[in-house]
């Protein structure tokens, strides 16, 4: 049983919000933190988990509701896991297109065998702003970085992320398929199991 019937999603990213909402379905009434505040908390943590907790606490504080945050990113093997927790700010906070262009440039001339990467997602759920026991669930998605963007779906690094099990980029997947396979889908499946929702 879901321990509450309303939940605020602690994200300002439209792509993420859409995916999280689709995955949660009708189990709970979902609000977005943007309804309560435009101020994005600084992501000062050193891990996906710390940043997810920090965003969840902030959303619970401004909304007075239980909050679910997602901190995610792309970890590229050849770059020692970069951009990692800095994925959103990789090109200095200039947005997805600039981040993707920088990644392609940094990996120019790097052969396929060394272009392995994984998407990482940490979900943090807090029942209230000072919850001493946040629920944390993680998900990983293995793939490879393409040499040029492909596909129009999704958001962020999706056009550069090759999905070996489907032979296409993650931006070429139908949204419903991405929501079955992705790092976020895996973390959400664990969270739903933990909360006892189907
Ligand atoms: O913090 P919030 O408000 O949730 O929104 P954000 O976009 O800043 O989110 P993060 O701090 O977690 O940074 C995630 C970065 O990783 C990228 N990313 C995460 N999940 C992704 C996915 O499923 N597909 C493509 N890129 C993704 C995303 O585009 C960002 O650059
Ligand atoms: Mg962020």
Residue ranges of the alpha helices (H) in 107-182?
175-181
Given CA atoms 22, 100, 143, 140 in this order, what sign does their dihedral have?
A: negative
Given CA atoms 77, 135, 89, 146 in this order, what sign does their dihedral have?
A: positive
Is 38 in the active site?
A: no
Q: Helix (H, G, I), strand (E, B), or coil: what is residue 98?
A: helix
Pocket around ligand 1 at a 6 A CB cut-off: 11-13, 16, 40, 43, 55, 70-74, 87-88, 96, 99, 119, 154-158, 182, 184
Residue 189: left if φ>0, alpha if ψ -120 to 50, beta else—which one?
alpha
Nearest to 53 by CA among 138, 174, 163: 138
Residue 91 to residue 196: CA distance in whole angstroms: 40
Encoded tokens for 159 = 């056009």
Question: Which residue, judged by its Cα, is nearest atom 18 of ligand 1?
Answer: 73
pLDDT in tens, 16-32: 999 999 999 988 999 99
Q: Taking each helix axis as running N to C, give the angle between helix 183-195 and helix 14-24, from 0 to 180 degrees, rounded to the nearest 10.
A: 40
pLDDT in tens, 151-196: 999 999 999 999 999 999 999 999 999 999 999 999 999 999 999 8
Question: What is the reported pLDDT for 197?
Answer: 86
Candidate from 11, 56, 88 with most ligand 1 atoms within 8 A of CB, to mutate: 88
pLDDT in tens, 54-97: 999 999 999 999 999 999 999 999 999 999 999 999 999 999 99
**Domains of the chain and CATH, by start:** 6-195 (3.90.950.10)
Residues with CB under 5 A from ligand 2 (ion): 88
Q: Are 126 and 84 in contact (CB under 8 A)?
A: no
Residue 133: which pLDDT band, with cuts at 50, 70 and 90? very high
Residue 117 to residue 111: CA distance in whole angstroms: 13
């Amino acid at each position: 049983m879901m321990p509450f019937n309303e939940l605020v999603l602690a994200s300002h990213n439209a792509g993420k919000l859409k995916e999280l909402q689709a995955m949660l379905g009708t189990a709970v009434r979902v609000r977005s933190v943007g309804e309560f505040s435009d101020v994005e908390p600084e992501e000062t943590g050193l891990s996906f988990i710390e940043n997810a907790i920090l965003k969840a606490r902030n959303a619970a504080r401004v909304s007075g509701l239980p909050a679910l945050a997602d901190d995610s990113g792309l970890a590229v093997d050849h770059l020692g896991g970069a951009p990692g927790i800095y994925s959103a700010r990789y090109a200095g906070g200039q947005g997805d297109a600039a981040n993707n262009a920088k990644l392609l440039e940094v990996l120019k001339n790097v052969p396929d065998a060394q272009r392995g990467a994984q998407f990482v997602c940490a979900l943090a759920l807090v029942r209230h702003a000072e919850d001493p026991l946040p629920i944390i669930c993680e998900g990983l998605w293995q793939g490879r970085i393409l040499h040029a963007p492909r596909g129009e779906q999704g958001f962020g690094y999706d056009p550069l992320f090759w999905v070996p099990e489907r032979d296409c980029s993650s931006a070429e997947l139908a949204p419903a398929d991405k929501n079955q396979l992705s790092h976020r889908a895996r973390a959400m499946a664990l969270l739903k199991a933990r909360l006892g929702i189907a």
